[in-house]
Amino acid sequence: MIKIELADRVKNLPPYLFETIDEMKRQAVASGVDVIDLSIGDPDIPTPKHIVEAMQAAVAKPEHHQYPSYAGMLSYRTAVADWYKTRFNVTLDPKTEVLALLGSKEGIGHVPLAFVNPGDIVLVPSPGYPVYPVGTLFAGGESYIMPILEQNNYLPDFKIIPPDVLKRAKLMYLNYPNNPTSACAPKSFFEEAVALAKRHDIIICHDAAYSEVYFDDKPPVSFLEIEGAKEVGIEFHSLSKTYNMTGWRIGFAVGNAAVIAGLGRIKSQLDSGAFHAIQEASIAAIKTEDAVLAKLRNTFQERRDVMYAGLTGLGLKVNKPQASFYLWANVPKGYDSTSFVAHLLEKAGVLGTPGVGFGAPGEGYIRFALTQKIDRIKEAVERIKKVL
């Protein structure tokens, strides 16, 4: 056996949060606990039937069985551009301003490879999606943590970023509607971000995975709706959360043509594009009637209402989500986020995610995902009540 040693970039990785939680869950299930898993952001609802049927037809076509095009089928990219026009009134050139992705995680993780040199800084919101700092690390960049705090409505405070950091910053990630806090950003915040990016030549990468999972008929804005946004950045989108397609691995990036081209160059070296049959089915997904989506949103809204009323009724402080399918709650006195998650799992068989797993500023919080049927959510609240 030769000596097999991991590269430093892998050794330096924090453990992937959900692996640790999976292990906790596995042990609880093995010891006979009926676990209500509210830890992972993977919808329990199947992909709508018309999308599955479009896939069944598409997969039979031999022309889809060959290598796909790198940037994505023009018909898919055109469907994306048309949707942006209808939904956000943003005009995109499907040839240069839209790129198909193998799920948005892939693009989010790869974009620093195109633009970040060793020693460059990437501005990373925290608590946040772990892929932002990890993609930065893999590119040899340095993450500068922008805390997103309750007292600032979970928006980063750009004013406290030191000038030398802004000088070295090459790229900034933002994510609204936000995972894990479920916060939304107003247009004025994005305007501030665009102005900052222009002053310091910072590429903005906005992660909009949850833009269509919204409540109370209040659709969130797109970063690209802001004047000048397309000069400074791109927006990542995913079909995963909007259409319950997490397993299909399809998403897209849109916006600044030079940033799209840079990311496209990395992708053309690393992957061979998304399966054309999936792209064809995704066109059917993007054209989903609003009534179907409204019904999906309503399902999550009912769950949100039950969970929000339940947890606040128990005296927990919860940020009421306007979008996303997460509830971000303060852990009660006497616990930190990890000990509270362990307590709920051991005593109540309810699994949440410790806030600290999304970064140090997430300490003191727990995230519950609304990815179980409403009866199970009601039961989770009842069980939590008994162990508080």
Ligand X SMILES: *Cc1c(COP(=O)(O)O)cnc(C)c1O
Whole-Å CA distances, 375 to 324, 334, 387 = 20, 29, 19
- Chain centre distance of CA 65: 30
Residues that bind ligand X (CB under 6 A): 41, 103-105, 129, 175, 179, 207, 209, 238, 240-241, 246, 251
Kindly report the number of other CB atoms within 10 A of residue 102's CB atom: 20
Return the residue matching tokens 């950003």.
Answer: 185
- Chain centre distance of CA 181: 11
- Helices (H), ranges, 170-329: 187-200, 229-232, 239-242, 257-270, 276-286, 290-313
For the bound state, the minimum distance from the C-beta of residue 4 to ligand X, rounded and expressed in Å, comes to: 29
For the bound state, the minimum distance from the C-beta of residue 238 to ligand X, rounded and expressed in Å, comes to: 3
For the bound state, the minimum distance from the C-beta of residue 259 to ligand X, rounded and expressed in Å, comes to: 17
For the bound state, the minimum distance from the C-beta of residue 41 to ligand X, rounded and expressed in Å, comes to: 5
Choice between 78 and 181, CB closer to ligand X: 181
Radius of gyration of the chain (CA): 21
For the bound state, the minimum distance from the C-beta of residue 250 to ligand X, rounded and expressed in Å, comes to: 8
Choice between 88 and 132, CB closer to ligand X: 132
Strand pairing category for 233-238 and 203-207: parallel
Choice between 69 and 246, CB closer to ligand X: 246
Return the residue matching tokens 């640790």.
Answer: 20
Choice between 115 and 132, CB closer to ligand X: 132
Is the backbone of residue 342 left (phi > 0), alpha (psi -120 to 50) or beta?
Answer: alpha
In angstroms, rounded to a whole number, what is the distance separating the alpha carbons of residues 262 and 264? Answer: 5
Choice between 238 and 372, CB closer to ligand X: 238
Which residues are registered as beta bridge partners of 235? 206, 254
For the bound state, the minimum distance from the C-beta of residue 134 to ligand X, rounded and expressed in Å, comes to: 13
Choice between 33 and 40, CB closer to ligand X: 40
